[in-house]
């Protein structure tokens, strides 16, 4: 049956968002209608409030700082010459939560299912190279500048492996060392249920 236009529009708009289907969107529409105008206004305000958030000029993470850099990029205690290339902002959040990485990040954007980089992603890589050249290059400019280490923080999937090899080839001249996140058994997992690939990596990297 046809719902009033504003509801259809809301459902269509919400269904565009990732991981939200029309069913959940419809449920949310009725929930909002039930909770009343104030709640709808607050949600609208929360959305428009996000317009003041900007991408970091160095790593593309979010920030609201004056100088164009995010909290991580402008933190003098973080190693600027150890750079982890990742896909998404939420990957950054998970990695930061571990509290084990003291370098900085570079967000490349979500990689297509083919594993091949899109044009805008190639431009981002270009920007990373320029940054490395400018920041770590010798004043004479005669030799290739190199970051201490570039970590490829891509998912341990075949797509992730493929794009990691592409990106590694691109960045190879720009880092003394290129690494990937370690593979093995996830903590709390059980050997009995681990797949062959994971067990293979766990054996290979035992120690």
Catalog residues that contact a second copy under the rule CB under 8 A. 1-7, 9-10, 13-14, 17-20, 24, 26-34, 37, 40-44, 46-53, 55, 62-64, 71, 88-90, 93, 96-97, 109
Radius of gyration of the chain (CA): 22
Task: Report the residue number, 21 or 141, with the smaller CB distance to a second copy.
Answer: 21
Strand ranges for the chain from DSSP E: 54-55, 62-63, 82-86, 104-107, 149-153, 178-180
29 or 175: whose CB is closer to a second copy? 29
- Residues in CB range of 23: below 8 A, 6 or more apart: none
Nearer to a second copy, 47 or 191 (CB): 47
Q: How far is the CB of 104 from a second copy (least distance, A)?
A: 13
Please state the closest distance from residue 18 (CB atom) to a second copy, in A: 6
Minimum distance of a second copy from residue 54's CB (angstroms) = 9
| Residues whose CB is less than 8 angstroms from the CB of residue 150 and which lie 6 or more positions away in sequence, other chains included | 82, 83, 84, 85, 171, 174, 175, 177, 178, 179
């Amino acid at each position: 049956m046809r719902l009033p236009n504003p509801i259809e529009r809301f459902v269509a708009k919400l269904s565009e968002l990732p991981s939200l289907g029309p069913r959940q969107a419809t449920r949310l529409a009725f929930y909002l209608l039930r909770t009343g105008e104030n709640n709808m206004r607050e949600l609208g305000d929360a959305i428009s409030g996000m317009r003041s958030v900007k991408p970091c000029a160095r790593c593309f993470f979010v920030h609201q700082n004056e100088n164009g850099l995010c909290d991580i990029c402008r933190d003098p205690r973080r190693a600027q010459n150890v750079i982890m290339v990742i896909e998404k902002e939420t990957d950054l959040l998970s990695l930061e939560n571990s509290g084990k990485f003291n370098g900085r990040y570079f967000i490349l954007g979500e990689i297509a299912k083919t594993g091949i980089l899109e044009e805008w992603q190639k431009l981002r890589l270009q920007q990373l190279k320029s940054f490395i050249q400018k920041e770590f290059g010798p004043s004479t400019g005669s030799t290739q500048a190199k970051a201490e280490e570039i970590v490829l923080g891509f998912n341990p999937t075949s797509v992730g492996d493929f794009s990691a090899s592409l990106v590694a080839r691109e960045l190879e001249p720009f880092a003394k060392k290129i690494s990937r996140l370690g593979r093995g058994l996830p903590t709390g997992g059980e050997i009995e249920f681990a797949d062959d690939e994971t067990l293979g990596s766990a054996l290979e990297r035992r120690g």
